[in-house]
């Protein structure tokens, strides 16, 4: 069957709103069940405990196609309600998905049983049952180039560059209610780290930028990212990890404990940790490795850790809504870590 581009890019993905319902009775009943229901209930209570712990800095780790699947507002609500203090993410989530939508573009409901050759001819990219306009993605690529073109040449951490992305949205969109994690992190002084930043639309834009400015250009320094995030851990001391998916963000944030030790700075292991993943631990890969396994590396403490083997579009909204509905966030003091970052770097590491 032949499709037109207009017929396929018709129904937009709608982002779920965790502020309009209450999962607490459901999660409390899960606690008396078994398997992943019970694991999810325990992870919800751990997240609530993190938010109650006034000494705990909460770090949200994100991997996978989350925003394209309808989870953008979940993350935005965590930011705007002071339920997250820092983010470590893949570049695709930040640039191809969130920043992409902040520019006014959309992800669309699609289906997996389709001729992908036809999609390629129509300039439509597919993420399982979701469609994206490739032409719109190219605009996103070039917007990253535009931002880089306007910055002084030099090396930047991904955190610094993403701050400038938020500043771009502030200067060009003028909307404090813009539902974008990049923008809301910018306005709430919440740092976002992307240790593999170039593995995204940012990479295409920065390649073009460096091609045109080969003598003096903007470059992303992943070692500076590591140093900054280690500095965050040193200053925070007590930390809690909320990990959606695995991959580089999971490993990157866990490694800060070891990095600090190598630098001769004594920091505790991450006190709290929970992970939602569908990855399997039996192949030895990081995404499915258990948090108990991370303890053997000296990264995650035991006692307040929980694995949930579930798909993120199902489990993440329940986790976030439970913590939102319990309301511990109402009594937290915003850390605004981006604002204090420059001084923190001078003190440590």
For residue 10, being part of any structural domain is answered with: no
For residue 237, being part of any structural domain is answered with: yes
Tokens linked to 43: 């992870």
pLDDT at 345: 44
Tokens linked to 327: 């309301």
**Run of H or E including 323:** helix 312-326
What pLDDT digit, counting tens, does each position of 263-280 carry?
A: 999 999 999 999 999 988
* CB-based burial label for 346 (10 Å; 0-12, 13-18, 19+): exposed
For residue 257, being part of any structural domain is answered with: yes
Mean pLDDT of the region 205-226: 95
Share of the chain above pLDDT 90, in %: 85
What is the CATH classification number for the domain harbouring 102?
3.40.910.10
> Within a 13 Å sphere around the CA of 313, how many CA atoms are in the beta-carbon half?
11
Which residue range(s) make up the domain with 155? 18-111+119-342
For residue 6, being part of any structural domain is answered with: no
Torsion 175-21-57-277 (CA) sign: negative
The active-site residue, picked from 145, 233, 271, 299, is 299
Q: Which of 149, 169, 151, 172 is nearest to 160 (CA)?
A: 151
Could you give the number of structural domains in the chain?
A: 1
Residue with tokens 């403490």: 301
Active site residue 299: yes
pLDDT at 342: 61
pLDDT at 310: 97
Q: pLDDT band at residue 349, thresholds of 50, 70 and 90? A: very low
For residue 206, being part of any structural domain is answered with: yes
For residue 279, being part of any structural domain is answered with: yes
Residue with tokens 């951490």: 157
Cβ proximity of 164 and 228 under 8 Å: no
For residue 9, being part of any structural domain is answered with: no
List, in sequence order, every beta strand (DSSP E) within 179-224: 192-193, 218-220
Q: Got the DSSP string for 226-268?
A: HHHHHHHHHHH-SEEEEEES-HHHHHHHHHHHHHHHHTT---P
At residue 119, does pLDDT exceed 50?
yes
For residue 294, being part of any structural domain is answered with: yes
């Amino acid at each position: 069957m032949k499709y037109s581009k207009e017929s396929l890019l018709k129904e937009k993905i709608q982002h779920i709103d965790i502020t309009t319902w209450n999962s607490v009775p459901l999660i409390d009943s899960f606690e008396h069940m078994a398997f992943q229901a019970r694991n999810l209930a325990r992870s919800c209570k751990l997240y609530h405990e993190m938010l109650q712990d006034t000494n705990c800095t909460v770090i949200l780790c994100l991997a996978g196609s989350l925003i394209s699947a309808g989870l953008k507002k979940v993350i935005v609500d965590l930011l705007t309600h002071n339920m997250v203090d820092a983010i470590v993410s893949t570049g695709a989530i930040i640039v191809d998905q969130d920043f992409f939508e902040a520019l006014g573009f959309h992800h669309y409901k699609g289906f997996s049983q389709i001729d992908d050759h036809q999609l390629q001819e129509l300039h439509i990219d597919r993420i399982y049952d979701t469609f994206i306009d490739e032409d719109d993605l190219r605009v996103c690529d070039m917007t990253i180039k535009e931002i880089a073109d306007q910055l002084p040449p030099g090396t930047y951490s991904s955190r610094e560059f993403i701050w400038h992305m938020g500043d771009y949205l502030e200067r060009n969109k003028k909307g404090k209610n813009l539902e974008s994690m990049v923008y809301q992190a910018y306005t709430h002084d919440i740092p976002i780290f992307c240790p593999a930043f170039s593995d995204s639309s940012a990479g295409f834009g920065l390649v073009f930028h460096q091609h045109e400015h080969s003598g003096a250009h903007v470059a992303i320094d992943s070692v500076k990212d590591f140093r900054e995030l280690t500095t965050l851990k040193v200053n925070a001391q007590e930390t809690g990890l909320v990990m959606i998916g695995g991959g580089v963000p999971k490993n990157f944030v866990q490694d800060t404990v070891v990095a600090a030790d190598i630098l001769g700075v004594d920091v505790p292991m991450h006190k709290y940790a929970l992970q939602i993943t569908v990855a399997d631990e039996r192949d030895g890969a990081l995404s499915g490795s258990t948090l108990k396994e991370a303890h053997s590396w000296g990264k995650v403490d035991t006692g307040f850790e929980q694995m949930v083997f579930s798909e993120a579009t199902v489990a993440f909204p329940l986790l976030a809504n439970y913590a939102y509905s319990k309301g511990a966030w109402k009594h937290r003091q915003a850390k605004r870590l981006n604002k204090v970052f420059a001084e923190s770097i001078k003190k440590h590491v």
